[in-house]
Structures are given as structure tokens and as C-alpha cells.
Structure 1
Amino acid sequence: MACNSSDCSSGCSGLKSENGSKSDGSSVGDGSIRESVCVKCKSNEPVFFADGASEDGKFCSDCFRNNVFGKFRLAVTCHAMITPSDKVLVAFSGGPSSRVALQFVHELQKRAQKNYEASRDRSLPVFGVGVVFLDETAIDPTLSGEINDAIELIRTVVSSLSPPAKHLHVVPIESVFGLDSAEARDRLQKLLDSVSDDTGMEDLLLHLRMLCLQKVASESAYNRLILGSCTSRIASHVLSATVKGRGYSLSADIQHVDARWKVPVVLPLRDCVAQELNRLCRLDSLQIVKLGHPHSGINGLVSSFVALLQEENPSRECTIVRTAGKLTPFYFNKIPEIDDSNVPLATRRRQKRFNLKYNEAMTTEYFCPICCGPLNKSDVSNLSESEGCQDIEVFYAACCSSCRFQILPHGQASIEQFYSLIPQQLTSQEKLQKADTQTLLREKIEDCLLSDGEEEI
């Protein structure tokens, strides 16, 4: 019942009218409160996106955008993702997440450029930015027309973000093999055809994309690789990795920084949900590219499940990521301390404050050659037992249990064919770990070895 007393002491802030609105202008007729002014700045009108979110109609356009950008900037500064002397490469798929990541990185670079021009001594250089797009026409030739249109749109988007100028790398995914185009495409198709499991083939493609991005970054002298992975995508990865038996290596994939790669990978949008990024693209009219990459198998089921959870409760994705964030990170998720004099003192202080604490007992130098996931003790034991075997047997032993089950084919002949088709980076990593295994074995028996000058008793 509506309050109609002038001396009401119940604490209500206004009166309900017959049409279901309060005297302050907010509507309550449909059971939800819609503010007449932004809840943050208390002056501008809020924006309504009509997407069913609980926060719809709470913030004005400026406050909403500042809120999303604030999450991005906090992640960048607290974890020292971008420093003045860096050269960063933004992985751009064309979707809302990578589009927002590119836009925000551009704005940081633009502000740094203004500060550089305004300073007298030019003490802080401006970090460089590059953009990379992977052309996956070789995977699905039927999408060649859409991909060509997407590339032209991406060129327009990147060129519109200057100055400072940003170099665009359009790289075919088959270039990861280091062969000529025709031979590389044939090899890629044979490699994918050798994986019978839909989930395994999708995961293998994900690993090949990372190898290709790392190849571009290292060859072009970038020292940071920025991905647009957001809370929504990480939440799906948490559940799918658990189902696939990747629980041990899960904490390595969900941190802000992943330095197990030659070029460290950073996730500045880790604390932003997909709904926020979609809204921002519509609000700022950011052009996005829609390419068909439907999930299949376990990944598709988990994505649908998480989307359903999010509809029922908008905080589910954040809850999943926060819960997984309690897992102990690995040593390569720990931010290395920066001694560069070009890095502001405030950034270095934040870095020490937000440095992750990891369990030294989880330190490992052994990674699966396919997914690059850290190996647990049982997998390392299998790798040690394979010492002296053929390269294929060592490769099989070096793979984690999930990759052996989901990706590797069954049968000796099929495994040999798979081994002959994979990129050289994977086999070279396996050979490196084979050499490390010899060092590990030597360390185990070091007390039993005779040093030079000692005689056997």
C-alpha cells in the first residue's frame, strides 16, 4: 500500500502514484526500480539497453563507460601489463571483447602520447601497439568471403585509431607450420582430420592459434600479447577444463598474467563480463566482426550452460571466476618485479601490492607439448620413465592425460601420423623437456655419483 502521510517515518523516499511511479520519478510498476538519474554522478539521465540485466538503467553513458574502462586500467596498472618501454600486440578476432581491448589500449597509448608531447624532458617513451588477425580460411574455405570482408573492415578500424600508427598483421593460421601456403594448408587439414573427437579438434585449434600468435609476436619483437578474454569466457573455461580433467593446470589459465610463454600473455579484461562489453560496443558504435566459430562438444555444452546460469542470476559468471581464483597460481603467474627506471614508482608499488603468492611445491619446468599446461607429478614420472625411448614415445609420455584422451588419436600408426604432422614448435619443446629429464635424473642420483678425483671404494 502506498504511503500517504506527510509525517511518515518509515524511511521511504517518495510516494507511489496510481500509475506505479514514485514521486522522485523512478518506476516501480514492473517490480524493478528504474532511477531517473545516474546512481553514480546523480546528474545525468541513465541509459537503458533493454537486455534484461539487473543494472539496466542505473548508470548514464559516461559513468557506464568509465566503470568498464576503470576495470581495464586497474588491471593494467596493478599488474604492470603495459609499461612505457613495451611493445604490445593485441590479438584481434573482431568480436566485442577484442574490439574493446583494442579501443582501450589505443586510448592508453593516446594519453601517453599527449603526456610525452607535453613533457619537457621526454623522459617517458610511448609504448608501441600492433594488431594481429588470424586468417582461418584454411580451416573452413566456405568462410573465405566473410573473412575477406572482415579483413577489410579490420583495416579500416585499425587505421582509424591513428595516431600513433598501429601496424596490422594479417596472418594465415597455417603459417604456424613454417611451410609454403599450399603445403601448410594441406598439412593443417590432415592434422585436424586425424583428431576424431570434436572437443579435441576444437582444443587443438585453440592451441594452434596461440602458437601462431606467439610466432608473430616473437618475430616482430613484441614483448606483450594482449587477449580479450573476459569473465564470461573464463567462467566457461573453468567448467570445461574441470570436466576435461585439467584441474591441476586450471589456475595457470585464469590469472591476469601468463608468463609461461616466450611472449607473456595478459588479460586486461579479465574482470569485465561479456554483457558489459557488448553494451559498450553498442553505446560507442564500435564496429565488430561476426565470424562463425560455433563451439562443439564439451565446450558448446558448457557455454550454453553458463549462458543459462547467467540469465537466471547475472552474478553467476563472476562467482565462478572468483571461486576458481582461490586456486593457488603457478610461479609463472607471479608478476616479475620491474627495475626499469621508465616505469612510474606508483606502478611498481601497485605491482608489489598485487603480486600473487604461489606455492613453491607446485613449481614445475615441464609442460604438455600440445596445450602447454603444467604437468603434475604423475605425468612427470611417466616422462622420466620414457627416457631412452623413441621420440614418439617420449612425446606421448610428455602429453598431459587430457590431451592424450581428447586430442591424440588411438593406435600406434595414427599417433605416428599425428606426430609427423604437428608443428615443429611442439616437437622441439618435447625434445627440450627430454633434455631436462636427463638433468632431473642426474639431480636425483647426484649423491651417488663420484666426483672428479674420487676413487671407488
Structure 2
Amino acid sequence: MCQVEEEYHEQLERVDAPGVSKKCAKCKEELAAVVIRAGDAYCRSCFRDSFIHKFRAMLGKTRVIFPGEKVLLAVSGGPSSCSMLSQVQEGVSQNAHKKLRFSPGIVYIDEGGAHGQSKEMKLKTTSELCEMFRSTGFPFYILPLEQVLDLPGSVVVAPSSPLDQPRSAYKAAVDLFLQSGSGRTDVMAQEQEGVSLPAIQESQTHLLQQLIGSAKTLTAKQDLLNTLRQHLLVHTARTRGYSKLMLGDNCTRLAVKLLTSITLGRGAQLAQDTGFSDCRYGDVVAVRPMREYSAKEIAYYNHMFKVPSVVIPSLDTKTPDKASIQRLTESFVTKLQADFPSTVSTIYRTGEKLQTTCRSSSAAEGTDRCLLCMCNLDTVVEEASALQATLISEQLSQSKVPHTSGQNSVKPEPTAAVGQCCSSEGPCGGPEGAVGCYSSPKQPEAAELRSLLCYSCQRTIRDMSSVHHLPHYVLSEAHRRQTWSAMREQISEFLLDDADEND
């Protein structure tokens, strides 16, 4: 055992921590100015070249963005998205070594109404962002989140699956782009279009706050907010003619998102939520070119090369670690990363190998995708599955044993017939016993809405006090799908199967 007066004759070995006195690991000449990982010490020039090369290489090896395409950059004001904007701005300039050949635009979603920010705070934030966006020369759009309440139903309609293009299509597009002379045109010379924050009525802000406030937990609020933001981004890209949506998710954020998604029951959607490209919306493909960068690497680059960013509070700002699943997972990963530097990279590399098994289904039906996240439904499984066992356990735990002793037992009140027409003037033409009226929209209940959602979105809806606070386009699309399913069930015996059509 250790004694107080015990003498130690041998000195303890101390591991030398990497410092700025070491040489650069790349050029071997200049002194290191930044240490990203153990053994990865770079000077200022080599760090900048490595940072830029990683961004260009990510876009080049994936070959998802074709020359001449319009790409919408989703900038939130944070360090990662602002660094992405800086890379694109430098990549489309005339003096760029390997010039980017797409036409960029910028969009910012103001979520201050959902957070309860004051008008002065929102005006200050938007003015700083407008000044940053004007300096780039790109067209930009600053939109309030309240506009998500007025979106059309086409946002959540299942799109047609994009056709897989051969590898030679990218090379042919590059040759055509260069032969047409577009390669010599400066992207920065395009006319800048700026859309500032429009005036928002207090009633719309109140409806948005009611929608977010209907979620009982912070976990459900953040999940619902992310879904609404994604809907507005996709709608903006479609209406403005952009075929690609560029997101600023970095490696650290994706590692946290991967573990969070597994916790929330989104294991079947991990490949789309954390992969480089996300094709769930069909005509608009979301890409994540910053997924190779860690948050530490981005912070160093922004500090060394003066990349501006804007600090904007969110729903989980100044909340404890156990306030939500997202917040707890983020705290767990960041604290583990401080002691074990390979934590984020290990999680990220594991998620990079995930793939989604695509089912061959008709895109015109629109019933095989989640109504909110637009991913393939993971609830269509066999009876003897873990999901069915979980649902049965929940139903049994929530069911109440009826009191049957004596004649004073409580009987359930008779409910209106499900197939009863909602029009008082006459029948709507729907068959008797149908699931709903075929002419007038009907507000779906929570139980009816869950059948159109994936397992994770079902958990979010279950944490809401009322589904009637959801946007109108979600409720109308839910009614359309339920009506379509009822009509298909009525004529199911007259329909031919795919096997019969092939014969």
C-alpha cells in the first residue's frame, strides 16, 4: 500500500502534449498554428488549404451537384453554415483554383416567433444577416417560420423517385457546360435578389406559438420545429427553382443526431437523416458537404480567417442537460469527446456505412411515406415483430378494466357513424360504411393521424395536447390519404394485383 513518507526514486514519465512549437505535419517547415487531433498539427497556410480541399473533394467525389444547377444554401447563422457559405463564396470566385460550377442562393429561416423573441431582437439579427448576405453577391431570402402555416399540400405529397443517372452523365454535363461557354461566366455577376423579412401579423405568430406549445416535452418541440423548418426550406427551393438544398450539418452534429435518432426510434431513417445526400423529397435533394468537418475544426477556421457568424438563441438555449433527449445526447457526446478524441469520428464512420433498403412501391399512391418527415414508413411490418410487441404493450398498459359488477356499469356513449356524411343537404356520394366523407374535409383525430406516420413521428404526435394545432396542409393531406384508402378498400375486389397485370 502507498505510504505517506514513501520515497520515489524514479521520475514519472510525462507524455508531451502537441503544442504550437512543433513543425507543420504537411509542409514540415513552418511552425504549427493549430492542432486538430493528436499528430495533426498544421501551419496557417496548410490548414487553410486542407480545409478548402476537403470541401471541394466532398463535392467532387460524390458528383451529386451538376454544373449549372441552382443550389440553395440553408444558412442558420451558426459557425458551420457560415463556414459553408464562405467556402462556396470562395469557390465561385474568379481566382479559385478549382472553381465551383453551380449557381448558389441563400435562405435563412427566422424562428424568433416560435421562441418568443422580441421584434427588436429579430430585427437586429436579420440586419446582421442581411449585411453578411449582401457582401456575397448571392440572391438571398429571409423568411419567417410563420409562413409554414400557409404552405400548400404539395410539400408533404410523396414525390416521384429520382432516376439513377449513370456515372457518364456527370462528365457529359461538364463537357456540355464548358462547350456552351457557361464555364467562363462569373457566377458573381448574376443579379442579386434580396427578400427581406416580411411583415408578420401577431395572429400568425400566436398560431405558431400554439403549435409549438402544444408539444408537452422539449424533445417533441425540437423534433416538430425541425420538421416545420425542413418543409419551409423544401418549399422555398421548389418555388425559387433550386434543385439542390445545401445544409451545414458538421461531423459533430451528425454524430449527435445519429444517437438521438436511434433513441427517438428513427433507426430506419438514419441513412437519410445523416447521409451526404437526402432524396426523400424527389425533385429537391438535400446535401451535407460539411459532414467531414468537426465542430472544433470549423471553430478554428472561422477564428483564424475571420469568418463572421451570428449567435441566435434556440429552444434549448440555457437549458439543463436533461431537458430533452437531444440536449442530453449532445452533452454526452461532447463530454466523451473531451476525454476520448476519437468518439465523434467513430460514431460518424459507423453511420456512414448505413444504407436504406428501398421498397418498390408506386409513388402515386403516397401512402407508403410518413406524413411529416416524408421517409418510408417503418410501421408496415409483420405481426411477430418488435414494433408490434411494443404497440401491444402500450395498448394494454393504457387500457382500463371496465367495471362490470351490478347494473350500474358504465357503458360507452354511442358515437356518430364513421361513414355518416358531414353534409346536411344530402349524401356526398360516399358508400355506406366508408371511413369518412368524400366531399368535405374532416379534422383527423390523433389515432387516425398516427397510422400515416412513422414510429418516431408517432411519438411526437403522442406528446402533443391536440393535433388540431398542426398546419392546415398536414391535416388536409391526412384527410386525402384516409379518403383514398377508404375508396381503395371499397373497390379492392375489383382491382388487379401486380402479378395479374404481368400475366
Using the size of structure 2 for normalisation, the TM-score is: 0.66
Structure 1 SS opposite 2:380: helix
Q: How does 1:81-160 map to 2 (within 5 A)?
A: 81-111=64-94, 126-160=101-135
* Corresponding residue of 2:223: 203
Say yes or no: does 1:288 pair with 2:309.
Answer: yes
* Counterpart contact for 2:18–2:38, Cα < 8 Å: no
Deviations 1:243-281 (A, max 9, x none): 111111222211111011142111001111111111110
Task: Tell me the equivalent position of 2:30.
Answer: 44
| CA shift digits 1:263-321 (9 cap, x unpaired) | 21110011111111111100111111111125341111000001011101122111112
Residue 158 of structure 1: how far off its partner (Å): 1.8
The answer on 1:278 being equivalent to 2:278 is no
Worse-matched range after superposition: 33-42 or 263-272: 33-42
State the Cα distance separating 1:154 from its structure 2 match.
Answer: 1.5
Q: How far apart are residue 323 of structure 1 and its match?
A: 1.1
| Aligned equivalents of 2:44, 2:493: Cα separation in 1 | 61
Query: C-alpha distance in 2, partners of 1:263/1:380?
Result: 32
User: 1:31–1:367: structure 2 CA closer, same or farther, 3 Å change rule?
Assistant: same
**What residue in structure 2 maps to residue 430 of structure 1?**
478
Instruction: State the secondary structure of the residue aligned to 2:223.
Output: helix
C-alpha distance in 1, partners of 2:435/2:209? 29
Alpha-carbon separation, structure 1, partners of 2:369 and 2:488: 16
In 1, the alpha carbon distance for the partners of 2:126 and 2:280 equals 30
The C-alpha deviation readout for 1:341-377, integer Å capped at 9, x for no partner, is: xxxxxxxxxxxxxxxxxx879x997222123232125
CA contact (8 A) 2:268 2:356 kept: no
Cα RMSD for the two superposed structures: 3.5
Q: Distance in 2 between matches of 1:320 and 1:280?
A: 23
Task: Tell me if 1:366 matches 2:368.
Answer: yes
Q: Give the aligned residue type for 1:328.
A: Q
Tell me the equivalent position of 2:167: none
Report the 3-state secondary structure (helix = DSSP H, G, I; strand = E; otherwise coil) of the residue aligned with 2:55: helix
* Higher alpha-carbon deviation: 176-185 or 428-437: 428-437
- 1:156, CA displacement in angstroms? 1.9
Query: What aligned pairs does 1:317-336 form with structure 2 within 5 A after superposition?
Result: 317-331=344-358
Structure 1 contact 214–263 (Cα < 8 Å) conserved: yes
Q: 2:380 aligns with which of 375, 378, 383?
A: 378
Report the Cα offset of residue 135 of structure 1. Answer: 1.4
**Which of 297, 308, 315 is the matching residue for 2:324?**
297
- The TM-score normalised by the length of structure 1 is 0.72
Is the 1:248–1:376 Cα contact (8 Å) retained in structure 2?
A: yes
Q: Counterpart of 2:197?
A: none
The 2-side partners of 1:304 and 1:213 are apart by: 28
Contact 2:34–2:300 under 8 Å retained in 1: no
Query: Residue 323 of structure 1 aligns to which amino acid in structure 2?
Result: T
1:446 maps to a residue whose letter is: L
Describe the shift of the 1:129–1:435 C-alpha distance in structure 2 as closer, same or farther (beyond 3 A).
farther
CA contact (8 A) 1:224 1:264 kept: yes
Secondary structure of 1:142's counterpart equals coil
Name the SS of the counterpart of 1:206 in structure 2.
helix
What is the CA-CA distance between 1:114 and the residue it aligns to? 9.1
Decide whether aligned partners of structure 1 residues 436 and 98 sit closer, same or farther in structure 2, where only a CA change above 3 A counts.
farther
Whether the aligned pair in 2 keeps the contact of 1:366 and 1:375 (CA below 8 Å) is: yes
Q: Distance in 1 between matches of 2:494 and 2:355?
A: 27
Distance 2:298 2:314 in 1: 19
Quick check: 165-174 or 65-74, which moved more?
65-74
Structure 1 residue 388: deviation in Å? Answer: 4.7
Q: Give CA-to-partner distance per residue, 1:62-98, whole Å, 9 cap, x none.
A: 2112222222212211222432221111111111100
Question: Shift of residue 399 of structure 1?
Answer: 1.5
The SS at the match of 1:169 is strand
Aligned to 1:62: 45
Kept in 2, the 8 Å contact 1:198–1:297? The answer is: yes
Paired AA for residue 256 in structure 1: F
Tell me, yes or no, if structure 1 residue 171 matches structure 2 residue 156: no
Residue 181 (structure 1) shift: 3.1
Judging changes above 3 Å, is the alpha-carbon distance between structure 1 residues 311 and 448 closer, same or farther for their aligned structure 2 residues?
Answer: closer
Alpha-carbon distance in 2 for matches of 1:228, 1:97: 6
CA contact (8 A) 1:249 1:373 kept: yes
Are 2:340 and 1:313 aligned?
A: yes
For the 8 Å contact 2:106–2:139, the answer to whether it is kept is: yes
Question: 1:442 Cα deviation (Å)?
Answer: 5.1
CA distance in 1, matches of 2:34, 2:499: 74
Relative to structure 1, the CA distance from residue 41 to residue 425 in structure 2 (aligned partners, 3 Å threshold; closer, same or farther) is farther
* Cα contact 2:222–2:315 (8 A) shared by 1: no
One-letter amino acid matched to 1:148 = L
- Which 5+ residue runs of structure 1 have no aligned equivalent? 1-27, 117-124, 332-358, 452-457
* Residue 260, structure 1, aligned to residue 260, structure 2: no
Structure 2, gaps ≥5 residues long: 1-12, 152-199, 317-322, 389-418, 420-432, 437-441
Q: Which letter maps to 1:242?
A: I
Structure 1 CA distance, aligned partners of 2:29 and 2:269? 47
The 3 A distance-change label for structure 1 pair 96 and 380 is farther
The sequence identity of aligned pairs, in percent, is: 26
- After superposition, the C-alpha distances for 1:409-449 in whole angstroms (9 at most, x for unaligned) are 57xxx54xx23x32244235435655775779959962599
Partners of 1:443 and 1:254 in 2: CA distance = 42
Matched, 1:32 2:52: no
C-alpha distance in structure 2 between counterparts of 1:95 and 1:284, whole Å: 16
Partner of 1:94: helix, strand, or coil? coil
Distance in 2, matches of 1:112 and 1:128, equals 17
Question: What's the CA shift for 1:112?
Answer: 8.9
- SS of the residue aligned with 2:93? helix
Residue pairs, 1:317-356, within 5 angstroms: 317-331=344-358
Q: Residues 47 and 144 (structure 1 numbering): CA distance in 2 closer, same or farther, change over 3 Å? A: farther
How many residues are paired up?
A: 373
Distance 1:447-1:263 versus aligned 2 partners, 3 A rule: closer
Q: In 2, are the aligned partners of 1:230 and 1:270 still within 8 Å (CA)?
A: yes
